Amino acid sequence: MWVPLCILPARTDGRPRPRPGVPFPPAPPATLPAGAPSPSDPAGVRRTGPRCASVAIMEPPADPRARRLFGGSARALGDLAASPFRADRDRIVASPFFARLNGVTQVVSPGGSGLLVHNRLTHSLKVAQVARAIAERLTADDRHRDLLEKLGGCDPDVVEAAALAHDLGHPPFGHLGERVLDRLARQRLGLTDGFEGNAQSYRIVTSTEIRGAATTGLDLTAAVRAALLKYPWTRLDHPDPHPRLLDPPPRGATPPPDDPDSGSSKFGAYRTEIDDLRQAREPFVGRIPDWQQTVEASVMDTADDIAYAIHDVEDFYRVGVLQQGAVAAELMAWQRESGHFRAITDAALAAAARRPGAAIERLRRQLHRKDAWIADDEAFAAAVEHVREELVEGLLAMPFDGSIEAEQYVARFSARWTTRFVDAITVVGQPAVRSGHVLLAPAQWHEVQVLKFVHHRFVLARPDLALHQRGQARLLGTLVEALLEWLLDPEEESRLPRRLHDLVELAEAELHPRTPDRIGKARGRAIVDFVAQLTDGQAVAMLDALSGRSGALWTDAFVL
């Protein structure tokens, strides 16, 4: 299934198309060149035109958190909920981009593996479940009421909506696809912003998803858009000073190791959506720093960590990848020889990389380097012990056989951990730079790190998974090259996939007329948008068709 995309025709006056959330000044006089400065538009960069004139602008709602991109407060056609935040939740769930997540990798591709594991859709649903539970507990606790209000508020509907939308922009093949698309976008397509899954999610809800003929994006409230900003900065230049320049920088703000001058490796919005980002954050100005998550974003982020730590362990226990012997050897070796491991140098530890216990010692040291604000050796040792008891002596001691007893055992394991983590949530007014306002108690924070370590060490580091992922990386690279070749062929322009053609028009309209290589950059962004909105199966089927490996002319994998 293709995600439908409506697009207005390209402007004929050379000026960018309007973007919601930006003031609507009158167009410059006809005697001025297109895009030139004017009294109402000194910089010549505002996005104005017929689209703005066709929108009935309403008075902003009394609550600035409920303000939408177009400033209206009335319920739109199709909104069944009276609450604007609940309406946002419903808009996200009704979006084809949300349904697409059923075919997108969480760890192992959902198509053709035969494994019953989480995909991006089921992961998003569970993150939303945990996030709402956290928000409801916080708002019901009188001890937190004044602080939550001071920091900008915490609404369970806002938190749930953001959690449901947080993975909309993840491309085919999960985090691997994200890294590959970022490299290709920067190095092959000349896009300074590259690609980032969180920024793509924000782009979808503000730009490429279409709710109606008069709006761009889902027209979500400011609070929900702000809650979606796990990393509330752009790659290079917003806010000023940029978070990557802080010492220490916030989590995710450091540059990628392969290109240290490219800006932050994680960021929440591309420059094309910077006006939307600013408007979404307006209700929180003066309450939290420009680079800090809102409370609701912090709840969503923490819930994401909790769901990831628990459900990935659950998945790979079910399919027999997590084995008791290997996990026990690693954890118990470190417990027996922790004094020895702590005493040796980093070089000696690297030389003993394959020795049981060495990997988790590297984790302990990494936590001290990156998260000295919370890392604690006693809490770490206690976390290793608790995970060993629950996982090695508990879950993994009983091989999964699909029986009712086994299913109940898995359910109890997940329920115990989820409850333990949700019960350990607190709110702080002045968090560390690498933390949000909502965080786990130190004991549970360390337990999350150890559970995530088990997944990384015994699933993600497997050679068979690496083989599979290298093939997927090559597939994405070849697909991008094939689409670029098609897009540059003047004789085939009229036969481009309609969706790709529309995305080129959208990207071109977002760029200033005097942007260097405007057409080239628009084509590059369109290809990235196009590929990022495919499911895993659609990406494979499209490359098969483009490479001549598929003999089927008509297929239900995609619609051109």
DSSP code string of 502-552: HHHHHHHHHS-TT-TTHHHHHHHHHHHHHHHTS-HHHHHHHHHHHTT----
Question: What's the pLDDT band for 259 if we cut at 50, 70, 90?
Answer: confident
Residue 460: enclosing H or E segment and its boundaries?
none
Question: What's the pLDDT band for 347 if we cut at 50, 70, 90?
Answer: very high
Residue 549 has a pLDDT of 77
Is residue 130 pLDDT above 70, yes or no? Answer: yes
Lowest mean pLDDT among 13-27, 230-244, 420-434, 532-546: 13-27
Distant-in-sequence, close-in-space partners of 419: CB < 8 Å, separation ≥ 6 = none
Note whether 261 and 194 are within 8 A (CB): no
Distant-in-sequence, close-in-space partners of 496: CB < 8 Å, separation ≥ 6 = 486, 487
Q: 140 with 272, same domain?
A: yes
Q: 414 with 550, same domain?
A: no
Lowest mean pLDDT among 137-151, 187-201, 227-241, 248-262: 248-262
User: How many domains does one find in the chain?
Assistant: 2
Note whether 422 and 306 are within 8 A (CB): yes
Domain-located, residue 80: no
Note whether 111 and 546 are within 8 A (CB): no
Q: 234 with 131, same domain?
A: yes
**Which of 443, 461, 479 delimits the end of a domain?**
461
Is residue 205 pLDDT above 60, yes or no? Answer: yes
Rounded to whole angstroms, what are the CA distances from 213 to 54, 77, 209, 224? 10, 12, 11, 22
pLDDT digits (tens, 9 = 90+) for 464-487: 888 988 999 999 999 999 999 999
**Which of 437, 461, 485 delimits the end of a domain?**
461
Q: 168 with 307, same domain?
A: yes
Taking the C-alpha atoms of residue 500 and residue 316, their distance in angstroms, rounded to an integer, is 37
Across the chain, mean pLDDT equals: 87
Note whether 263 and 277 are within 8 A (CB): no
Residue 438 has a pLDDT of 98
pLDDT digits (tens, 9 = 90+) for 270-293: 999 999 999 999 999 999 999 999
Residue 50 has a pLDDT of 32
Q: 348 with 378, same domain?
A: yes
Domain-located, residue 9: no
Q: 452 with 467, same domain?
A: no
Token duo for residue 292: 């800090």
Rounded to whole angstroms, what are the CA distances from 324 to 307, 309, 392, 455, 520? 22, 17, 6, 13, 53
pTM of the model: 0.87
Of residues 74 and 198, the one with the higher pLDDT is: 198
Domain-located, residue 414: yes
Is residue 559 pLDDT above 60, yes or no? Answer: no
Question: What's the pLDDT band for 243 if we cut at 50, 70, 90?
Answer: very high
Domain-located, residue 131: yes
Mean pLDDT of 249-257: 93
Taking the C-alpha atoms of residue 61 and residue 56, their distance in angstroms, rounded to an integer, is 15
Domain-located, residue 27: no
Domain-located, residue 187: yes
Q: 383 with 415, same domain?
A: yes
Domain-located, residue 230: yes
Q: 379 with 439, same domain?
A: yes
Lowest mean pLDDT among 95-104, 205-214, 384-393: 205-214
pLDDT digits (tens, 9 = 90+) for 487-504: 999 999 889 999 999 999
289 prior amide bond cis, ω within 30: no
Which domain range does residue 523 map to? 86-317+462-560
DSSP string, 407-446: HHHHHHHHHHHHHHHHTTEEE-SS--TTS-SEEE-HHHHH
Q: 287 with 418, same domain?
A: no
Is residue 60 pLDDT above 80, yes or no? Answer: no
Distant-in-sequence, close-in-space partners of 443: CB < 8 Å, separation ≥ 6 = 379, 382, 383, 424
Q: 189 with 208, same domain?
A: yes
Residue 198 has a pLDDT of 98
Distant-in-sequence, close-in-space partners of 446: CB < 8 Å, separation ≥ 6 = 367, 376, 379, 380, 382, 383
Residue 560 has a pLDDT of 57
Residue 76 has a pLDDT of 77
Is residue 33 pLDDT above 80, yes or no? Answer: no
Residue 235 has a pLDDT of 98
Is residue 51 pLDDT above 50, yes or no? Answer: no
Of residues 431 and 259, the one with the higher pLDDT is: 431
> If DSSP states are collapsed to H, E and C, what string results for 215-274?
CCECCCEHHHHHHHCCCCCCCCCCCCCCHHHCCCCCCCCCCCCCCCCCCCCCCCCCHHHH
Neighbouring-strand partners of residue 105: 119
84 prior amide bond cis, ω within 30: no
Q: 534 with 436, same domain?
A: no
pLDDT digits (tens, 9 = 90+) for 167-193: 999 999 988 899 999 999 999 999 999
Note whether 505 and 7 are within 8 A (CB): yes
Distant-in-sequence, close-in-space partners of 139: CB < 8 Å, separation ≥ 6 = 145, 148, 154, 155, 156
**Which of 427, 461, 495 delimits the end of a domain?**
461
Token duo for residue 393: 């002596």
Question: What's the pLDDT band for 550 if we cut at 50, 70, 90?
Answer: low
Quote the crossing angle between the two packed helices 463-487 and 174-187, to the nearest 10°.
Answer: 40
Domain-located, residue 26: no
Q: Look at the block and give the residue holding tokens 């709110």.
A: 427
Q: 350 with 252, same domain?
A: no
Q: Which CATH number belongs to the domain containing residue 252 in this structure?
A: 1.10.3210.10
Neighbouring-strand partners of residue 438: 427
Of residues 451 and 494, the one with the higher pLDDT is: 451
